[in-house]
Amino acid sequence: MQLSDHISALLRDHDCVIIPDFGGLIADYSPAHIHPVRHTLAPPTKRVAFNQALTRNDGLLVDALSRTLNMPAAQARQLVREAVARMQSELTAAQRTELPGIGIFRHAAGRGLDFEYTGTHNLLTASFGLPELLSRPVRATDAMQARERGTELPEPVLRASRSRLGRRVLNGVAAALIGGLVLSANYMFALRMGYLPDNLRGATEWVASSDTPEPAAQVAERQQAALAQPGWHEPAVAKPEPAATVAEPVAATVAAPEKKAVAATSAPAAASVAAKVAAPKTGSATISGITNRWYVAVVAVNNEASARKLQQAYASKGKATQLLLPRRGNRFIKGTRFYRLSAADFADQASAKRHEAIVRKQFGVQTEVINY
């Protein structure tokens, strides 16, 4: 058993091991770290350094040799001296010496001894035996592909651009409505309790009196007060003329059949006109092959069932669309991944761009010009 083996065993349990008349080996804790080039995660360990000034014999190495080799302390001390002498002679002859499994000592001009730790075993007892772990770096392309595979889009990708503005308007209307209700409740409570000012109370009482019927007792009291006034007389009521009363029903009975006849004759014509106006267009189609035309897409979904439902909904409103199925691309044609509904198609991109605004205004959604 070499001297370096005894020193390695002592460094596992102690932070400093002194080689008499040579120097001291100091073990310092090193936390876990990631290698920047190899991308490996190393566990916590002990890093060994050398201090040439620690030459006084503390008895630690001699006692360990005496216990391990079962020999007297004097004989163990002699073995340490012989090992130190051999290391000194190697330094003098070759300018270097080595403790296997611990490190290499070299002569440095003007600096004494340089030490290089070459140990491969983990000297930290808490993490002894833990291997290095390989940490594969995460690339941005892998994260994007994983996100595309893991997410599903139940709603159309192309959404209305006015949704945010509409939400703000709706919130403002709701806030105004709630504020009006609160003010009305406070106004009615102040009116009932008598806290309302006189200038506002008069207008309110007039409105309330015009809306609610007057009690019978108040009507009788007002009539009695009017009779008590001097010079009061009841106004005469003119009797209706019988000729006018008879003529009006006759005219009404004569005009009623004429109006019914006109309405009966005009009803079928109006129904036919309304049916022609409300009849949906039947220009829907499904396209799966390469056409090399430019389409104005209004909807893009990730499954065919949703695309078919949206196409039927547009057809019921009289808006004809074409279903563009996903297809695999090549080096000449770009592949597609969604099911798209197209409202119009053109031979060139310029024509499609010119008519994109018209299609967007008709369908009320964000559009997209694609080549299929």
Quick: pLDDT tens for 31-78: 888 878 877 888 888 888 888 888 888 889 889 888 888 989 899 899
Distance between CA 141 and CA 59 in Å, rounded? 61
The domain tally of the chain equals 2
Side-chain-side CA neighbours of residue 358 (13 Å)? 8
The model's pLDDT over 112-156, given as tens digits with 9 standing for 90+, comes to: 888 888 887 788 888 877 888 887 766 666 667 777 665 555 555
Instruction: Answer yes or no: is 351 within a domain.
Output: yes
Mean per-residue pLDDT for 306-321?
A: 90
Task: Select from 94, 111, 134 the last residue of a domain.
Answer: 134
**221 assigned to some structural domain:** no
Contact 61, 17 (CB under 8 A): yes
Q: Residue 68 CB: number of other CB atoms within 10 A?
A: 13
The neighbour count for residue 316, using CB atoms within 10 Å, is 9
Residue 355 predicted with pLDDT over 60: yes
Higher pLDDT among residues 72 and 262, named by residue: 72
| Contact assessment for residue 287 and residue 321, using Cβ atoms and an 8 Å cutoff | no
CATH number, domain at 330? 3.30.70.1070
264 falls within a domain: no
Higher pLDDT, 72 or 366: 72
Residue 257 lies in a domain: no
Q: 100 in a domain, yes or no?
A: yes
Domain boundary among 106, 134, 162: 134
User: Which position has the higher pLDDT, 197 or 208?
Assistant: 197
Stronger pLDDT, 193 or 269, i.e. the higher one: 193
Residue 90 lies in a domain: yes
Q: What share of the chain is helix, strand, coil (3-state, %, to 5)?
A: 50, 20, 35
Answer yes or no: are the C-beta atoms of 19 and 58 closer than 8 Å: no
- The 8-class DSSP code of residue 126 comes to G
- Asked if the structure places residue 65 within a domain, the reply is yes
**What's the pTM?**
0.35
d(CA 351, CA 343): 14
Least confident of 113-122, 141-150, 216-225, 237-246: 237-246
Average pLDDT of the chain to the nearest whole number: 75
**Amino acid at the residue 161:** S
Q: Among 80, 99, 134, which residue terminates a domain? A: 134
8-32 CB burial, b ≥16 within 10 A, e <16: bebbeeeeebbbbebbbbbbeeeee
Residue 219 within a domain:
no
Which residue segment(s) compose the domain that 315 sits in?
285-371
- More confidently predicted of 312 and 246: 312
Query: What pLDDT does residue 180 have?
Result: 92
